[in-house]
Chains A and B, each alone.
Chain A
Amino acid sequence: MDMTRPEQIEIRWHGRGGQGAVTSAGMLAEAAYYAGFKGVSSAPAFGAERRGAPVTASTRLANATLRHFSQVENPDMVVVLEDSLLVTANAVNGLGAKGYVIVNSHLAPEELGLSNGFRIATADADSVAEEIELRVSGVIMVNTAMLGAVAKATGLITLEHIERVLNHTFSPKAARKNIEAARMTYECTRCAY
């Protein structure tokens, strides 16, 4: 699904401490750079992070070199690593009327109870990570998988761009597993628009 590329796209990631939202936000910036965006940035919402607490990260993608790095407050897209954060972190706060909401959830987009105006996509990244045993310290990891959902839902990046990022970030073995997770999640992403 191709999206006419605007001058700048602002993305907010929602996860919990330990889920790797900050890491995958940075990976999206890098993948988008490979996809031809000249200005990309990704910044964690700064604070004393702790496991399990809601965290956010801001990613900006632009056609020109970026001049500002403040936190995103009116995103064009939110990526949510756990569907409970839709409520507890009010993940769609400030999201534009036709904004993308991309959620790790076993539910269909229509079942999330969100405004119809949003472009909603869901992917059951938990099941993907379970299936291929993508775990860190026993905990399943869905952050890299959700890059596949972003690719499918927006067309801003492709699986090849994601692969390139993962290949140079991880050891060959870990990269293979993460690439597989992104690919499977890409395949199972459901878009309600």
Chain B
Amino acid sequence: MTVETKSAVVITGNKAAAEAARLARVEVVAAYPITPQSPVVEALAKYIETGDLDAEFITVESEHSAMGVCIGAATAGSRVFTASSANGLAYMCEQLSWVAGSRLPIVMGCANRAMSAPWSVLNDQQDSMSQRDQGWIQLFCRNNQEILDTFLQAFRIAEQVKLPVMVCYDGYILSHTVMPVEIPDQEEVDAYLPPYAAHTALDPAAPRNINPVTLADPRLNGEGVLCHGYMEFRYLMEQAHQEALDVIVKADEEFGARFGRRWGGLTWSYQLDDADTVLIAAGSLAGEATISADMLREEGVRAGVLGLRAYRPFPADSLAEQLKQAKRVIVFDKSLSYGYGGPICMDVRATLQRHKMATDVDGYIAGLGGRDIKARELAAATRESIAWAAKRHAPKPTGWINLQL
């Protein structure tokens, strides 16, 4: 931290997201309200109405249409913003794949909320997890300042690698909780985030196909030029994700140099250097885990936390490097791949196996449908995991925190 701390405003995560979109000078906003995301777009509608943001707010009848409008606007060269949660995000499903495949740098907020049924408006991360494989970059935030800063970074990342970015932040726990947030100066943001120069901008002087129909193999177009087949397009999309691993880190470094705040790039850590027991999670849950690590350290357990900022692309190599000294990893997931286990846990296990590391990895499911998670519960789960390893040789089944059956 080299820059002196400025005075902050005390606002919700949703307000921080809206402030970021305003500062990014987005040109088109299209969104449909859903709890807990609604206040983001309400705030943006107000900024546009009062002239604080020079943008078009396009009202739509559904999330599917909202993303359809975003696709059109982004293709024509606008910087575009939208946000949703849970059922709304699911309703966008088809369009999400279209955005990524079209390589449009749309940035959206996902105020994480449980998927129905049963009905719940409260937090978990099943919604964004259910869209994990659509080709979007997914970034997680641990507090409201990180929400604002991550959205600004997201536009930069998206426009550089030509991939859409979903900025995920826990519904209610962050979206509706007030805390101090420093609002950067507009000139500084402008310098960090120059206007979007679209790679898809339409030009009558140079006509081209947008999203051509592909066949299984490359083929010649009408002018005799050999064009990519579907697999080539998709391979390039994956290459962009791999490239994003560096771009996300650089975007955070350059943000830090300009604004005095860095968030760790792909991951962040707490008390990790000498930790043999590492707690892993994404979002506000990982922040809670840092309190658990304090509790465990008081008992003599060398605990630390590794928080995921980037979930896709998955920072596998970085994780393996940082977990070298760990004997035991406990992963807390706020979502579930039904029939197997926590998705982050599975990714961590696969990463360690690939790097030929014999670290124990136990998984816990936590906080589904808004079940409040206390630091003491994460600490208790960690103790349980340690005790299991001491007594049993069979793999520990996935644990469920504070299950009340």
Measuring CB to CB, which residues of chain A are less than 8 angstroms from any residue of chain B?
A: 26, 29-30, 33, 38-44, 46-48, 65-71, 73
Contact = CB atoms under 8 A, between A and B. Distances in A.
Contacts of B60: none
Contacts of A41: 177-179
B288 interface: yes
Interface stretch (B67-75, B158-166, B368-376, B388-396): B368-376
26 contacts: A39-B179, A39-B180, A40-B180, A43-B173, A43-B176, A43-B177, A43-B178, A44-B172, A44-B176, A65-B143, A67-B287, A67-B288, A67-B290, A67-B291, A68-B284, A68-B287, A68-B288, A68-B290, A68-B375, A69-B143, A69-B177, A69-B179, A69-B284, A69-B287, A70-B374, A71-B372
Contacts of B8: 33
Interface of B is mostly: loop
Contacts of B180: 33, 38-40
Contacts of A48: 121
Interface in B361-381: 370, 372-375
B178 A46 contact: no
Given A30-B10, A40-B10, A42-B177, A66 B373 contact: no
Interface residues of B, number: 25
B18 interface: no
B178 A69 contact: no
Given A43-B172, A69-B173, A30 B178 contact: yes
A46 B172 contact: yes
Interface of A is mostly: loop
Contacts of B249: none
B248 interface: no
A29 B179 contact: yes
A172 B109 CA distance: 34
Contacts of A67: 142, 287-288, 290-291
A33 B122 CA distance: 28
Interface centre among B142, B180, B291 (most CB of A within 10 A): B180
Contacts of A73: 374
Contacts of B373: 70
Given A26-B178, A33-B8, A39-B180, 14 more contacts: A33-B10, A40-B180, A41-B179, A43-B173, A43-B177, A46-B172, A47-B122, A68-B287, A69-B177, A69-B179, A69-B287, A70-B288, A70-B375, A73-B374
B152 interface: no
Contacts of A65: 143
B177 A70 contact: no
Nearest to B291: A68
A84 to B, nearest CB: 25
B174 interface: yes
A149 B26 CA distance: 44
Nearest to B174: A69
Top 8 A-B residue pairs of the complex, sorted by shortest distance between their CB atoms: A43-B177, A30-B10, A41-B179, A46-B172, A68-B288, A26-B178, A67-B287, A67-B290
Contacts of A42: 177-179
B287 A46 contact: no
Interface string B171-193: 01110111110000000000000
A69 B172 CA distance: 10
Contacts of B177: 41-43, 69
A117 B372 CA distance: 29
Nearest to B293: A67
A106 B242 CA distance: 66
Contacts of A30: 10, 178
Nearest to B121: A48
Nearest to B35: A48
Contacts of B143: 65-66, 69
A66 B122 contact: no
B35 to A, nearest CB: 10
Given A67-B290, A69-B288, A29 B10 contact: yes
Contacts of B372: 70-71
Nearest to B176: A44
A38 B5 CA distance: 11
B10 A26 contact: yes
A46 B290 contact: no
Interface string B240-259: 00000000000000000000
Contacts of B176: 43-44, 46
B263 to A, nearest CB: 13
Nearest to B171: A46
Contacts of A66: 143, 179
Interface string B139-159: 000110000000000000000
Nearest to B372: A71
B285 to A, nearest CB: 9
